[in-house]
Amino acid sequence: MSAHPEKLSAPSFLYLNLTEKCNLRCTHCYGFFGSEKEGELGKDDFQRIIKELSKIGVFYANICGGEPTQSPYFKDVLQFLQEEKLHYMLTTNGLMSNNLLEYIHTYGEYLISVKISLDGFNADTHGVIRKGSVTMSEEAIFRQTVHSIRFFQERGYPITVATSLHRQTLEQLPQLLQLMLELKPTAWYLSPITENGRALENRELFGDLNVYRDMLKDVFEIAQENNIIVKLVDIVLDDREYENFSFDCGAALAHCEIHADGTVSPCTLSRLTIHQKYFDFPNIKQNTLKDIWESEPFERFRKYQTMGCSGCKSFTSCNRCVANIFQYYGDPLQIPTFCNSIHEKLGVKPNVPSKIEQGLIQIEIN
Amino acid sequence: MKLTKHTRFRQEENYILLCRVDTLQYFQIENKWLSILMSLKEGFPIAHSSHEEEVRLFLKDLVVMGVLENE
């Protein structure tokens, strides 16, 4: 009997991407965020969407981008959320004026947490991957980011610091840990840079996580001892963890993402990495979220979460990363790339490296 | 007693999904408790039932889970 999780009647939460506009041009960006995308959602769209989220019982929205505060409708969205009493998280780079910080606080009744990116312990390390900023120095970016973290923290909002582990950050993990112990966020998410978007053009940023595994273990333990919830995203510290490895993702089952142009996909990656020839995800400008949740592309995505991977020991407890499979192979029967290296432990046949993995072709993007 | 401001719930096919959004904790509750949760949400007194002890224990569990608070 299959133990694959069933979809909820509607998303329990979702990402609401306000704009692809960003005031930075991070070299590790998983998208190509920077400029506003053609046909982005407008004020009326956001009002209608937030009303529907409330009506169908979505528990909370993660307001994100690009940089969501760069949307001309950011303030309107906060008002709509307040009117509908819909809880929300804010994912931001923290670069905003004091007036805007105060505005968010004014509409903070339903703000449940703020997630801010911080990738290094000083201006050099944090700023080195944010070179594209045209208006701020690396020093100013770092100072403002830390200021925003403290602003929200002093007002009682739980803070999550999100750190992308680029090469220099990995080298300076102990110093970053010291800064975290000083800032004391509620949670600290550490994730490797992914092979998507602008990061593909900046291969020098990628560090070998295996080299820093012991250091990551120490950082993990010390931060936890100091009451910081540490989450290592897609990082396995101990080989023994592979014995029970399974991919637990709620894409299309419990959550989805509304993109800045209104396209709705099961997750961020599926929109960014799956070519339109495989999945033509619906747009919320012409559909309700409820209809999209039941649509053919979403149902097919769910079907692909429960097929393939023949022989895998974790099959019934895993719902596979469909986005990864289509990004690299375009074939739903293949196994995700991150299972290739542990295929013996899982009991599955490895994939032949894709042309992308061999560096022969670039990843197709929409 | 009342649901906390940060408690949200809805009915799924076979259970009630309940979430404390302030801590992002999810709970699955039997469908039979829907009327009680609705009463709490609407601020109505909970109707007496023939299973008062069971109701009392359920409400106690909700307090422990942090989804219910005293007014």
For chain A, which ranges sit under pLDDT 50?
1-2, 365-366
pLDDT of residue A54: 97
Give the gap in angstroms from C-alpha B5 to the nearest C-alpha of chain A: 9
pLDDT of residue A340: 79
Largest pairwise CA distance in chain B: 34
Backbone angles phi, psi at A88, to 5 degrees: -150, 155
pLDDT of residue A356: 60
pLDDT of residue A157: 97
In terms of C-beta density within 10 A (0-12 exposed, 13-18 middle, 19 or more buried), how is residue A4 classed? Answer: middle
Give the gap in angstroms from C-alpha A142 to the nearest C-alpha of chain B: 28
Chain B residues contacting A via beta carbons under 8 Å = 6, 8, 10-13, 17, 19, 21-22, 24, 26
Give the tens place of pLDDT for each residue, A109-143.
Answer: 999 999 999 999 999 888 878 866 667 888 999 99
**Cβ–Cβ gap A87/B13 under 8 Å:** no
**Cβ–Cβ gap B6/A112 under 8 Å:** yes
- The ipTM of this complex is 0.90
What are A200's two structure tokens? 């593909």
Which chain A residue has its CA at the smallest distance from B8's CA? A59
Give the tens place of pLDDT for each residue, B4-55.
Answer: 999 999 999 999 999 999 999 999 999 999 999 998 888 887 766 667 888 8
- Burial annotation B12-36 (CB, 10 A radius, 16+ → b, else e): beeebbbbbbbebeebebeeebeeb
Q: Which H helix or E strand runs over B38? A: helix B34-42
pLDDT of residue B12: 95
Which chain B residue has its CA at the smallest distance from A156's CA? B22
Q: How far apart are CA A167 and CA A190, in angstroms?
A: 13
Helix (H, G, I), strand (E, B) or coil at B48: coil
Please name which of A20, A10, A1 lies closest in space to residue A271, comparing C-alpha atoms: A20
Which chain B residue has its CA at the smallest distance from A112's CA? B22
Taking the model in full, what pTM does it have?
A: 0.92
- CA angle centred on A160, ends A159 and A165, rounded to 5°: 150
